[in-house]
Amino acid sequence: MNRTGVPEPGGFFALRTAPVPGGGHRPLAGLYAGDLAPLTARVDTVALRLNTPERRVAASIAHLGLAARLWSIALGPAALHGRLPDLSPGRLFWDPAHTSPDDLWLEDTASLEGTADRIREAVQFGHLVPLADALRAEGTVSPRLLWGNAGSALAGAVRELVGWARTHGRPDVAGRARALAAELFDHPDLSTTGAPHGPAFRRRSCCLYYRCPGGGLCGDCVFDCAPGSAARTAPE
């Protein structure tokens, strides 16, 4: 709740500024430096929850969730307040056993100017690039799939912010979220992941969720219907 009395976006947009009691949080910098144990644990947890025997499917879904968290905790405050927290990997702590908002906590509340360039530096270059490297070291996941997840996660964050803004009469927030996303998508790694570059985004790759037992298609999936048994290979 801010000083206007209007509740701010929660869920993936919420970020703790203190450790969760009893948590096993570690700085994401360690993961990016080669300590893959937390990532392996997270993929194992997702595989168990989805009951999937395919490790690359679990790795994709685990990546999609963390990418959504990272975009959200940067884009949300930038759209609402024009600032974003300093999300340097050494300051941002992650526990793969927890879900939002207990999965992440930030060591301090230093903030940066909420521009698209700052968000790109913090999230795309500071986290998503080394996270993709870590996932490929942990298992076999294609770069195209991972960038598709990143684009989908960014578009999803914009969609949530636009919905929140509509509910709470904040067209200014929706406008800033759309404008920031348009700039963020204007990069070779993201520009070809899907279109249009906003809430109606439809990706050009598949996160592979349909391959889980009982799984289906996501709202922005490249497929119109789940591939049948004769066409089990999704574009990556």
Nearest to 154 by CA among 36, 69, 42, 35: 69
Domain range enclosing 53: 11-211
Spell out where the chain has E strands.
26-27, 83-85, 92-94, 104-106, 111-113, 194-195, 202-203
Residue 217 falls inside a structural domain: no
Instruction: Flag whether 192 is in a domain.
Output: yes
The answer as to whether 221 is a domain residue is: no
Contact call for residues 67 and 151 (beta carbons, < 8 A): no
Q: What is the pLDDT along the chain (236 residues), one digit of tens a residue?
A: 344 556 788 889 999 999 888 889 999 999 999 999 999 999 999 999 999 999 999 999 999 999 999 999 999 999 999 999 999 999 999 999 999 999 999 998 789 999 999 999 999 999 999 999 999 998 889 999 999 999 999 999 999 999 999 999 999 999 999 999 999 999 999 999 999 999 999 999 999 999 999 999 999 999 988 876 334 444 55
Q: Is residue 236 part of a domain?
A: no
Q: Is residue 229 part of a domain?
A: no
Residue 166 lies in a domain: yes
Q: What is the pTM of this model?
A: 0.92
Report yes or no on 3 lying in a domain: no
Tell me whether residue 232 is in a domain.
Answer: no
Number of domains present in the structure of the chain: 1
